[in-house]
Amino acid sequence: MNILAFESSCDETCAAVVRDGRTVLSDAILSQIESHARFGGVVPEIASRAHTEAITAVCDRALADAGLTLDGIDAIAVTAFPGLIGALLVGVNFAKSLAAARGLPLIPVNHIEGHIAAGYLAHPDLEPPFLAMVMSGGHSSIVEVRDYTDFKLIGATRDDAAGEAFDKAARVLGIPYPGGKEMDRLAALGDPDAVPFPPAVIRESRYDLSFSGLKTAVINYAHHCEQTGEALNREDLAASFTKAVCRGIESRLENVLEDYPEKTLVLGGGVAANSHIRETVTKLCERKGAALKLLPLSLCGDNGAMIGAQAYYNYKAGITAGPDLNADATSRFSFHA
């Protein structure tokens, strides 16, 4: 079954063709980063307009790269939530129109479930049940994937998302949006013990994370340096911040691996590209005897292929939508809860 899938929840316009949930025939991505960078973050209005301009061409590219026309497509899939509402609506309306015009099934997909399903594309042997942690610009969630369409949210951030924290800390260092990747590079050059930042956790919970205290600590530290004329070592700050993030993630995942029976872990989302987090979680899984399924960097960030992967399993479970499909900005966690 060939699924043409769309993703437009944030600042990337994506379309992909995926066969039977596992094989990527094409994965076209148009990033809007340059349009947003000068504002220091994603501007929702600009994102919606850019998706509207790009989506037809991105769809054409996905079909061409797959060597197909719409005649070779069996279903249309789209991210319906969560995300920026105006941005989501562009993908949802485009997908609805295409499905209606071609008489094809329309499959709605939860963006977070899509990030998890990226694991099926990278690891042909991966099958539920397993554990997953999704860390992106908008989410930080630990999930028990009981079956392809059966999810239990175990823990999440109580405030900012991991990517948001990376981007805000980067901003303090004068790094343009999105700064996560540059923070990764700088952190490798600094001393992680230079500044003792608090770990990114909620003490009263075994599974929840919190990034806002850490973010404030980084901002306060930078202000302190500014006021006292102390030199701010960018590499040390990036390394110390990253260590606090890694310690938070490590402690929550350690608790989850102790408390839950599944011993396979998928790391997804843009922040799962971070080399220090990957190293920390790799060591943790070795210690705990768990199998870690990392994703190639191309499948960590937003893409259409991950939506096409989850869509296949949604379709098999009877999860389709009619012409009244709407987008939702919030994270009702799944269509099946």
CA distance 96 to 93: 5
User: What is the nearest approach in angstroms of Zn ion to the Cβ of residue 233?
Assistant: 32
- Measured in residues, the chain has a length of 337
User: What is the nearest approach in angstroms of ligand KG4 to the Cβ of residue 234?
Assistant: 15
Partner that binds at residue 240, options Zn ion, ligand KG4, none, CB closer than 5 to 8 Å by kind: none
Among 138, 155, 190, 199, binds ligand KG4 (CB under 6 A): 138
10 Å Cβ neighbour count for 308?
38
User: What is the nearest approach in angstroms of ligand KG4 to the Cβ of residue 211?
Assistant: 11
The size of the interface with ligand KG4 (CB under 6 A), counted in residues, is 20
HEC profile of 154-210: EEEECCCCHHHHHHHHHHHCCCCCCCHHHHHHHHCCCCCCCCCCCCCECCCCCCCEC
Q: Give the three-state DSSP class for 75.
A: strand
Candidate ranges 47-55, 173-181, 200-208, 251-259; the one touching ligand KG4 (CB under 6 A): 173-181
Pick between residue 110 and residue 149 the one whose CB is nearest to Zn ion.
Answer: 110
10 Å Cβ neighbour count for 200?
27
Partner that binds at residue 303, options Zn ion, ligand KG4, none, CB closer than 5 to 8 Å by kind: none
CA distance 85 to 186: 34
Among 178, 192, 199, 213, binds ligand KG4 (CB under 6 A): 178
- Tell me how far the alpha carbon of residue 6 is from its chain's centroid: 15
Write out the binding residues for ligand KG4, residues 288-307 only, by CB under 6 A: 301-302
**Footprint on this chain of ligand KG4 (rule: CB under 6 A):** 10, 136-138, 163, 166-167, 178-181, 183-184, 269-271, 273-274, 301-302
